Structure 1
Amino acid sequence: MFRPLARTALTIAVLASAVACSSDDTGGEGYTLRIGATSPTGTPAGSLGWGDKEGILTEELKAAGVDKIEYSFFQSGSDAASALIAGAVDVAAIGDNPALRARSRDPKVVLLALDSINGDAWLVGAKGGPTDIAGLVGKNVTAPQGTIRDRAAKQLIEAAGLSDKIQVRDVPTPESIAGLSSGQIDATVVTGASAIELQEKGFPIIDSLSKHGFGSTGTNIALTSFTDQHPGFEQAWQKAITAVNRNITENFDDYTAWIAKTDDTSVDSVRKSTSIDEFNTEPFPKQGVEQLEAAYNFLNADGSLENEYSVQEWAGAKS
């Protein structure tokens, strides 16, 4: 449940400074944990941000020797995954697409936990345009390539049996939403409260992942070089993530109000786009692993993965 930031010099500077900060630079028995994620505000967002704000992450990770947490923020999950591979961060909290791709490139990528499941995405149309997927044949459909929004668009098109008739163009979400308003784009995929805001402004919701039993997951990955160096970390991280999610489910109204404030949107939009069952209270719930595997199967069939592997083994052995 982590959202994007701007790239260019900021990402390069953050990555460079993160490389300079060794995860064992504290000089004592404890160490600094470097977490890479996406954020629209330059501060920890979503469930990660809640865990940081409430002090849950800091408290639970003490058992693994973590005495400080430093954050680096990136434009996309792919950027955060690249930072992990480069040794700039110790943990990447990202969506399932970039995590699955990272594991296909490097078998040393460890899946620490799923921090969310049942993530939804909405295919939103232009005002006065098609209200079903069949009406998008020959139309302009967009989504940023390599993201959950891109995968969601293609999954929904495939579910309608129209994969050979509708192409998805690679256009960033802000430009896609602007294109909807101007009439230059006929449909795009949006996640979170933005979809509800668009619907309330008269843009039709054409389809969504949840209508078909699809869903996305939030993943937390590390490298075996890090987990081998800190043998108690995996268990502590899983305990921390599930503690954060349990706290969210127990304080859902407070959580959604905080999200609305930090994202500068309405509480109503956040609550309409956020389900309490997104916050898994075990690290590898069966439903989440199935959703992760479905994402893997789609990406593999799409030719997006460099090497094949077993998602069940990647996650299931730890459940």
Structure 2
Amino acid sequence: MVGLQQTGRKWQIWLGVMAAMVLSACQPSAAGKTANTAAPTGEAKQVLRIGYIGPSETAGGAVGWALHQGTLQTAVQPLGFAEVKEYVFPNGPDLNEALLSNKLDVGIFGDTPALTGEANRGGSTLIGFNSVANEAWLMGRPEIKQLADLHGKNIGVPNGSYMHRYVSGLIEQGLLKDVKLKFLLPRDAQAALSNGDIAAFAAPIQLGPQLQSLNFNTVDLASKHGLQGNSVIVARNAFLSEHPQFFKVFDQVRSAAAKDLRQQPDAYYAYYLKHTQYKEPIIRASFPMESFNAETFPAQGLKLLEGTKQFLLSQKIISKDFAIQDWQIKSE
């Protein structure tokens, strides 16, 4: 069985890696256009820089919908932002490092790396949720039918992600025994499963249903154990201090966008499908309408967030405890 302390050390090593901002960057005002460029430095007063986790060309959710409609760009112009740019990252730790290194202003990513970053280094504020209770799929090779079949085998997980937290939770609960975790990015999962390098992979939204469609077995789901993740929205403390009106403007736009997209799901899915290679059934399964919340801090999201924090503490992945309410932005 993989040592959880060893897992924690590897996790923290990844948090120390500088973000390589040479990945696709998507400019919302030109949907579908990408450029291989680094996030600009010194442009914070001119460009609002939003980072998110790939593989799609947009963050999606309420924030993505607001960018698609242009409402966020319009709303932040009076605050001094000439444009808004999205930057895609392969995983949470890389995004977290970019955020804390002043290469981003706002980050949209899983709650596990967001909590780990705040506990270990601080410097961020929780300003909302882009989606709540995101599913994770434990997808196995044809011979893997149930959790017990994974005894003594390799399981692939994206390091520092909510899928990592999910599989580690199964280990903690004794549902997975004598397994070895291999850190893999989602883009490498299908090949690793096909080649037999791993027996199963903990897949995020989009990839889970995609692997299902390719006839890999659904061994388990995070929702069966209350181990789903959230997509949280955080901002740098220094950025919020420099732009005290930003949160109020941003949250009003985000909330309105969430309400709007839930009223026209077909239009939302049509928009998102233009920015991803996945097919419509995959996207609908990955992003149910109920995951998009109009509230700034929905109760379900906060409950899952607290559960994730307590897990990270219990496994000594983080050593510093803090109150979620102290991390949340204080609004008037």
Q: TM range, normalised to the smaller chain?
A: 0.7 to 0.9
RMSD: 2.7
The residue number in structure 2 matching 1:106 is 121
Q: CA deviation at 1:121?
A: 0.6
Query: Which of residues 229, 233, 246 is equivalent to 1:233?
Result: 246
Q: CA deviation at 1:81?
A: 1.6
The residue number in structure 1 matching 2:320 is 307
Query: Which of residues 253, 278, 281 is equivalent to 2:291?
Result: 278
Residues 12, 120 of structure 1: CA spacing in aligned structure 2 closer, same or farther, 3 A cutoff? closer
Structure 2: how far apart are the matches of 1:124 and 1:94?
22
Q: CA deviation at 1:292?
A: 1.0
Amino acid at match of 1:133: L
Q: CA deviation at 1:317?
A: 5.5
Matched, 1:10 2:10: no
Structure 1: how far apart are the matches of 2:329 and 2:87?
29
The residue number in structure 1 matching 2:91 is 76
The residue number in structure 2 matching 1:20 is 41
Structure 2: how far apart are the matches of 1:149 and 1:271?
20
8 Å CA contact retained: 2:20, 2:94: no
Q: How does 1:290-301 map to 2 (within 5 A)?
A: 290-301=303-314
Structure 2: how far apart are the matches of 1:302 and 1:236?
38
Q: Deviations over 1:240-266 (max 9, x none)?
A: 222222222112122223323321222
Matched, 1:223 2:259: no
Query: Which of residues 132, 138, 146 is equivalent to 2:160?
Result: 146
Gaps of 5+ in 1: 1-6, 25-30
Residues 73, 250 of structure 1: CA spacing in aligned structure 2 closer, same or farther, 3 A cutoff? same
Amino acid at match of 1:18: A
Amino acid at match of 1:119: N
8 Å CA contact retained: 1:57, 1:244: no
Q: CA deviation at 1:140?
A: 1.7
Query: Which of residues 258, 261, 265 is equivalent to 1:248?
Result: 261
Does the residue aligned with 1:10 lie in a helix, a strand or coil?
Answer: coil
Structure 1: how far apart are the matches of 2:86 and 2:41?
13
**Percentage identity across paired residues of the two chains:** 28
Structure 2: how far apart are the matches of 1:300 and 1:53?
38
Structure 2: how far apart are the matches of 1:174 and 1:241?
29
> How many residue pairs were aligned?
304
Q: CA deviation at 1:312?
A: 3.2
8 Å CA contact retained: 1:60, 1:239: no
Structure 1: how far apart are the matches of 2:206 and 2:49?
29
8 Å CA contact retained: 2:151, 2:176: no
Q: CA deviation at 1:289?
A: 0.6
Amino acid at match of 1:139: K
